[in-house]
Chains A and B, each alone.
Chain A
Amino acid sequence: MKKKLNGKLDILNILKGLIIGLMCIFLYFTFSTPQASTKDFTSVQNGMLNNIDLSTMELKDNISIKRFLDLEPEMFENIIYYKSQDALNADEIVLVQFKSSNDAKTFEDKMKARIDEQTNIFSGYAPEQADKLNNSVIDIQVNYACMIVSQDAKTIHDQFLRSL
């Protein structure tokens, strides 16, 4: 009886050892591999821009995306670009969903170039706008990315992360 009990407990210990091993493997892959969001673009867009005042901004078309951001809209699964209607205001919001994660580097480089370009323009005569640009956010999250130049950049970014 005692042998049977000990045998049973050994099996349980082996199973627990197996669970620990599987958990370690699972956690390794969880934390070493950035995870793509399964959310659809509309949900992410709505979540990111929830309660954000866009009345002074304009949703730009593909021509503007090419002109201002130097991006080819066709290379993305989805892209939206908000720009301030006031030429003296640096506010911009870009949200993209990648077709391929290989496009992330291109996006990041283009956004950095855009920020640098805008900073050069505004630093001379509009320090407030230059501050916004200095505090701008470019974030790549596997299959989604954003670029935010706004007074509410932190809020929008937090909402972007939560919406994923």
Chain B
Amino acid sequence: MIFNSLIFIFFFFPVSLILYYLTPSTYFKNIVLLIISLLFYSWNDPVTLILLVLSILWNYISGIQIAKETKHRKLIIVTSIAFNVLILCIYKYIDMVVPFEIDTSHVPIGLSFFTFSAISYLGDVITKKVEPQRDIVLFSLYICFFGKISSGPIVTYSQMQSQLKSRIMNRAKFNAGMVLFIKGLIKKIIFADQFALVFQALSDNDTVLGTWLYAISYALQLYFDFSGYSDMAIGISKMFGFDFDINFDHPYMSKTIQEFFRRWHISLGNWFKNYVYFPLGGSRVNNTLYVRNILIVWFLTGIWHGANITYIIWGLYLGLFVLMEKFFLKKALKKLPKFISHIYTLLVVLIGWVFFFSPSLLSAFDTLLRMFGVGASSFMNSDFLFVFTSYLVLIVFGIFFTTTIYDKLQIFSYNHLKNKGVIITSVVYVVFFVVCISMMVGSTYQSFLYSAF
């Protein structure tokens, strides 16, 4: 089941909310939420529930074992984490290593995300940041809460721990969650799915401008798709009383690559920082080891997305820019006018996305060369002009909504127009919610891009 489906919005979600709020006490609410989450997870493929349950049990037991001081603690730590990593690698990368054909088309939904949640829990128990959770209901809820299991955000156990036992549920939070959910739905249906059409329409366009718009439309599709999903996930979680950190903070406003990845998929970046980068020594090592640490993190970030060389090259390409900014470009970027740094960042990120969406390295280089005129049939053609003019409004508004202008306008209207501002904003959200629903009814199914990871 996905958040942008009619069955979720008009049946599963409202029924879940009603059952949850009718249930007395946080303890029973958690049980109800756990049952709902397990039902959500198994909706399309009940068999994968077995994997989820085994993962929960393994990590629950491992947490208790690690906390106890025994002489085999190191072995327990290694095997506990290795189990999680192995399951992930088997599903995602097995066809890279076995010499025979194997059916890998059914990677369980959310595997990368709940596995990373589990590893972060074990990491926090190992470093004694948290005590192991002995209540199996609370631990299971942490792993499989339906608000975040499918495509994140990757919430660490320490962030969620106190909220599992008690959380604030009030009207303001519920409303804020609802607004965030609608915002995410708008991003997904109105922007991401439409940019997907632009991307598809230009897939065969071999002109310079056509290729640029092809890449830009993917960059915007990916942003709205994933940040839209994240908004929906965080909004849903709020409505059940959970507060999670934002996962996207207007990344296309960044002026350096380092800044970009502090704003893009923040939970994944933090995970790699806390559980790979810092244990390796972070930046508190000599330059050689620092370079090694950065390349390891970015190699893993790339391969996390999939078993394709293009993802690895994407990761290492960005890792190299992180290193270049640290060692060579730092002073220059500080001196440059902000808009130049902004353009530099957008260009580097866009080139990276070309590797990200290309099925092969050859295809990626083909696309990149065409962007700069090599191998292009012409500068532009009638197909490009048709697509560009047809989607001009979408492109303009899409770029607009990647900036912070809308958020500032919303805050301005609340602060200066007071109640009027709230009413106007509410009406706008309701209207666009209805537009989204009508587009969902009339349109074909579009899965979330990041659910593939």
- Residues of A at under 8 Å CB distance from B? 5, 9, 12-13, 15-16, 19-20, 22-23, 26-27, 30-31, 34-35, 38-39, 43, 46-47, 49-51, 141, 151, 154-155, 161-164
CA distance A161 to B359 in the complex (A): 15
CB-CB under 8 A for A15 and B61, given A9-B68, A22-B54, A161-B105: yes
Seed contacts A9-B68, A12-B64, A47-B445; 14 additional CB < 8 Å A-B pairs: A5-B68, A9-B70, A13-B65, A15-B57, A19-B54, A20-B83, A27-B87, A38-B44, A38-B45, A50-B444, A51-B201, A155-B203, A161-B105, A164-B105
The answer to the question of B200 belonging to the interface, with a C-beta cut-off of 8 Å to chain A, is yes
How far is B239's CA from A4's CA once the two chains are assembled, in angstroms?
Answer: 44
- Check B50 for interface membership: any CB of A closer than 8 A: yes
Q: Which residue of A lies closest to B90 (CB)?
A: A27
B83 proximity list for chain A (CB < 8 A): 20, 23
| Residue B283 is within 8 A (CB to CB) of chain A in the complex | no
B102 within 8 A of partner (CB) = yes
The answer for the CA separation of A51 and B444 in the assembled complex, in Å, is 9
Q: How many chain B residues touch the partner (CB < 8 A)?
A: 35
Whether A51 contacts B200 by the Cβ 8 Å rule is: yes
Do residues A47 and B444 form an inter-chain contact, with CB atoms below 8 A? yes
**A15 CA / B64 CA spacing, docked (Å):** 13
Is residue B106 contacting chain A, with contact meaning CB distance below 8 A?
yes
Whether B51 sits at the interface, judged by CB under 8 Å, is yes
Known contacts A9-B68, A12-B64, A46-B445, A35 near B103 by CB under 8 Å = yes
Instruction: Give the one of B103, B197, B452 with max A CB within 10 A.
Output: B103
Complex interface residues of chain B between 340 and 361 (CB less than 8 A to chain A): 359
For the complex, give the distance between the alpha carbons of A12 and B57 in Å.
10
Residues of chain A within 8 A (CB-CB) of B197 are 51
Considering only residues 382-435 of chain B, those with a C-beta below 8 Å from chain A are: none
Residues 291-306 of chain B: 1 if any A CB is under 8 Å from the residue's CB, otherwise 0?
0000000000000000
Contacts of B64 in A (CB 8 A): 12
Contacts of B47 in A (CB 8 A): 30, 35
Interface SS of A by simple majority: helix
Cβ of A155: which chain B residues have Cβ within 8 Å of it?
A: 200, 203
A43→B50 contact, CB < 8 A: no
Contacts of A141 in B (CB 8 A): 105
**For B50, what are the chain A residues with a Cβ–Cβ distance below 8 Å?**
22, 26
Mark B69-103 against chain A: 1 for CB-CB distance below 8 A, else 0: 01000000000000100010010001000000011
* Contact yes or no, B444 A34, CB < 8 A: no
Give the top 7 A-B pairs by smallest Cβ distance, nearest first. Answer: A51-B200, A46-B444, A50-B444, A19-B58, A35-B106, A34-B103, A12-B61
Contacts of A20 in B (CB 8 A): 83
Q: Which residues of A contact B163 (CB under 8 A)?
A: none
What chain A residues lie within 8 Å of B452 (beta carbons)? 162
A14 to chain B, nearest CB (A): 10
The one of B44, B54, B201, B447 that contacts A23, using a Cβ cutoff of 8 Å? B54
- Chain A min CB distance to B54 (Å): 5
Is B35 in the interface zone, CB < 8 Å from A? no
Q: Is the CB of B445 within 8 A of A50?
A: yes
Contacts of B203 in A (CB 8 A): 155
The residues of B that contact A23 with a CB separation of less than 8 Å are: 51, 54, 58, 83, 87
- A151 contact set on B, CB distance < 8 A: 204
Q: List 8 A-B contacts (CB under 8 A).
A: A5-B68, A16-B58, A16-B61, A23-B87, A31-B102, A38-B44, A38-B45, A51-B201
> Scoring B residues 442 to 453 as 1 if CB is less than 8 Å from chain A, else 0, what string do you get?
001111000010
Q: Which of A49, A50, A155 has the most CB of B within 10 A?
A: A50
Task: Write the nearest CB–CB distance from B193 to chain A, whole angstroms.
Answer: 10
Nearest CB of chain B from residue A66's CB, rounded to whole Å: 29
Judge whether A43 and B445 touch: CB under 8 Å: yes
> Quick check: B94 and A163 within 8 Å, CB to CB?
no
Is B196 in contact with chain A by the CB < 8 A criterion?
yes
Q: Give chain B nearest CB distance to A97 CB in angstroms.
A: 16
Say how far B354's CB is from chain A's closest CB, in angstroms.
17
Contact (Cβ within 8 A) B445 A19: no
Chain B residues, Cβ within 8 Å of A31: 94, 102-104
A26 touches B102 (CB 8 A): no
CB-CB nearest in chain A for B50: A26
A residues in contact with B51, CB < 8 Å: 23, 26
Residues on B with beta carbons closer than 8 Å to the beta carbon of A35: 47, 103, 105-106
Of chain A, the residue at the smallest CB distance from B51 is: A26
For chain B residues 39-60, which have a beta carbon within 8 Å of chain A? 44-45, 47, 50-51, 54, 57-58
Which residues of chain B have C-beta atoms less than 8 A from A161's C-beta?
A: 105
CA distance A59 to B35 in the complex (A): 44
Q: A49: which B residues are within 8 A, CB to CB?
A: 444
Does B62 touch A at the CB level, under 8 Å?
yes
| Those of B129-185 within 8 Å (CB) of chain A | none
Q: Which of B65, B87, B105 has the most CB of A within 10 A?
A: B105
> Given the complex, which residues of B lie within 8 Å of A46, measured CB to CB?
444-445
Give complex CA distance A13, B66 in Å. Answer: 12
Shortest Cβ distance from B225 into chain A, in angstroms? 14
A15 to B54, CA, bound (A): 11
In the complex, which residue of chain B has the Cβ closest to the Cβ of A47?
A: B445
